[in-house]
Amino acid sequence: MKKAKAVYICQSCGYESGKWLGKCPGCDEWNTFAEEIITPRKKTERKSTAKSAPVSLGDISMKEKSERTTTGIAELDRVLGGGIFPASVALLAGEPGIGKSTLMLQMALKLNRNGRNVLYISGEESPPQIKNRAQRLGAGADQLLLLAETDVEEILFHLKQSQPEIVIIDSIQSIYYSELSGAPGNVSQVRECAAKLFQYAKENGCSIFLVGHVTKEGAVAGPKILEHLVDVVVYFEGNIQQHRIIRSLKNRFGPANEIGVFEMLSDGLKEVSDPSKLFLNQREDSTVGSSIACSYEGSRPFLVEIQALVSRSNYGTPQRTVSGFDYRRLALILAVLEKHAKQNFGIYDVFVKIAGGLRIDDPAIDLAVAAALYSSRQDQLLRNDTVYIGELGLGGEIRPVSFVDKRLQEAQKMGFKQVYLSGRNFKDSAIPQNQYLKILTRSSIQELLAPRKN
């Protein structure tokens, strides 16, 4: 019989090594290896129980498609693709204290009031603590089942006894499997416990939500271990001011990169059905270095404010600082402005921020970033009733963007008067005009920044 052996496993990505390494070859993180003892299981001859059998595609029923369970929280349903899919496993990850447990408890209480059998399992809080939070949320659902347990075998026993429709595990890092060595939360424990819960969900038609913490660097703990296993990955972000954002990074049953917006109040998380209004409500009338962009996230557009500050550098190397925006994309936009708009940023510090704590990767905000940088560099005000929509190419051209009709409708709804975008968005059709919104097309960054009559 083989003896137990020690291996070193990266607690960030799961990379295994026979010896301790200072830097992980898999994720390039430092000091993340921890020693774990691997005990080989005894090999036994396994006989098939024939529980499963191949079926033809035409014999598969599509009843499940109409059996999604709505959570009662519209923003969460949007991110999940329309509700909770039967027999699915979802991972909700975020920083400690951002509101993961609050959101899950709100969801559990609403589902319970709607007659769903929900089991809330906590490995970090006691039932009295959870009840105290429920009373603070002002929700009356005394029939909600609670369980304080960290042993995954005990959890599976209670699941088989109570047969809940929906299970919430808060959190997966607190659950352990007694036959494995190592503390709860290490890679082996997280992987094994999640796999057992995943298997139970698929075999019994139960939907499970796993709450996961993130590391101090902002990555989901054990991301490569859990992301491929679960059906849905939802990331909780925006621990700034009062708003919170949930974003789907993976969804087997709906669109990915969908976002939901909430406000954190004393009585829990409140849905924000109009993100544009939320992110523009503190904007001043006219400010140098400020422009408005229209981003498209998931299935809806919303307006955000881009703020830029360009100031003379007091050090040898100018600073380039971004918040909510890709640093490398800022370098690209600065290079385009220097090359094609003759704007020199070589001796200036540059700061770019997306107001409200958002992070946006939509290339359609490039034009708004360029306009804000130009405004701050030239100390020139931009019109506060204008929206900039477009992607910048390396040749200085303004490239068309997708979903332009919905973006224009959002700009009009929020009361803006004119929009700058690429003329190639209307190559095969006339430019739509109405009495409320003026559409101004530009082909390049030079044409946008040059003196114009409009």
pLDDT (tens digit per residue) in 376-419: 999 999 988 999 999 999 999 999 999 998 999 999 999 899 99
268 and 287 part of one domain:
no
CA dist list (Å): 109 to 44, 99, 166, 168: 45, 15, 12, 12
Which residues pair with residue 320 across a beta bridge?
350
The CATH number covering residue 287 comes to 3.30.230.10
Q: Is position 393 within any domain?
A: yes
The confidence score (pLDDT) of residue 11 equals 74
The confidence score (pLDDT) of residue 2 equals 58
The confidence score (pLDDT) of residue 452 equals 47
Q: Which helix (H) or strand (E) holds 307?
A: strand 300-312
Whether omega before 171 lies within 30 degrees of 0, making that bond cis, reads yes
Question: 419: closest CA among 437, 401, 395?
Answer: 437
64 or 386, greater pLDDT = 386
Average pLDDT over residues 169-183: 87
% of the chain residues with pLDDT over 70: 86
59 or 311, greater pLDDT = 311
Q: Is residue 51 predicted with pLDDT exceeding 60? A: yes
237 or 117, greater pLDDT = 117
268 and 289 part of one domain:
no
CA-derived radius of gyration, the chain: 26
233 and 288 part of one domain:
no
Cα–Cα distance for residue pair 170/122, rounded to 1 Å: 5
| Predicted confidence band of residue 141 (pLDDT cuts 50, 70, 90) | low
436 and 317 part of one domain:
yes
Cα–Cα distance for residue pair 127/139, rounded to 1 Å: 16
251 and 301 part of one domain:
no
Angle at 246 between CA 281 and CA 362, to 5 degrees: 70
266 and 359 part of one domain:
no
Average pLDDT over residues 46-69: 70
**Domain boundary, last residue among 273, 294, 315:** 273
**Domain boundary, last residue among 231, 256, 273:** 273
Q: Is residue 233 predicted with pLDDT exceeding 90? A: yes
253: phi > 0 → left, psi -120 to 50 → alpha, else beta; which?
A: alpha
Average pLDDT over residues 233-260: 84
Q: 107 near 73, Cβ under 8 Å? A: yes
Tokens read off for 203: 């075999």
Q: Is residue 238 predicted with pLDDT exceeding 80? A: no
Q: Which alpha helices (DSSP H) does 252-365 contain, by range?
A: 275-280, 327-340
169 and 222 part of one domain:
yes
| Predicted confidence band of residue 43 (pLDDT cuts 50, 70, 90) | low
Domain hosting residue 334, numbered range? 282-449
290 and 265 part of one domain:
no
Overall number of domains in the chain:
3
Q: Is residue 310 predicted with pLDDT exceeding 50? A: yes
| Predicted confidence band of residue 218 (pLDDT cuts 50, 70, 90) | very low
Q: State the DSSP code for 43.
A: P
32 and 164 part of one domain:
no
Q: Is residue 435 predicted with pLDDT exceeding 60? A: yes
The confidence score (pLDDT) of residue 340 equals 93
Q: Is residue 123 predicted with pLDDT exceeding 60? A: yes
Q: Is residue 71 predicted with pLDDT exceeding 90? A: yes
Q: Is position 115 within any domain?
A: yes
The confidence score (pLDDT) of residue 454 equals 42
Q: Is residue 161 predicted with pLDDT exceeding 60? A: yes
> Hey, CA dihedral for 228, 229, 231, 236, is it positive or negative?
negative
Average pLDDT over residues 111-116: 91
Question: 391: closest CA among 364, 369, 372, 362?
Answer: 364
Query: SS in 3 state form for 352-410?
Result: EEECCCCCCCCHHHHHHHHHHHHHHHHCCCCCCCEEECCEECCCCEEECCCCHHHHHHH
pLDDT tens profile 331-387: 999 999 999 999 999 899 999 999 877 888 899 999 999 999 999 999 999 988 999
> Hey, CA dihedral for 266, 270, 274, 279, is it positive or negative?
positive
pLDDT tens profile 193-203: 999 999 999 99
196 and 238 part of one domain:
yes
250 and 314 part of one domain:
no
- Of 56-60, 172-176, 375-379, the range with the lowest mean pLDDT is 56-60
The confidence score (pLDDT) of residue 200 equals 95
Average pLDDT over residues 61-69: 67
The CATH number covering residue 203 comes to 3.40.50.300
Long-range contacts made by residues 254-259, C-beta under 8 angstroms, separation at least 24?
Answer: 254/80, 254/81, 254/82, 255/81, 255/298, 255/299, 257/297, 257/298, 258/78, 258/79, 258/81, 258/297, 258/298, 258/299, 259/79, 259/297, 259/298
Residue-averaged pLDDT of the chain: 85
Cα diameter, the chain: 85
291 and 244 part of one domain:
no
**Domain boundary, last residue among 251, 273, 295:** 273
417 or 436, greater pLDDT = 417
Q: Is position 454 within any domain?
A: no
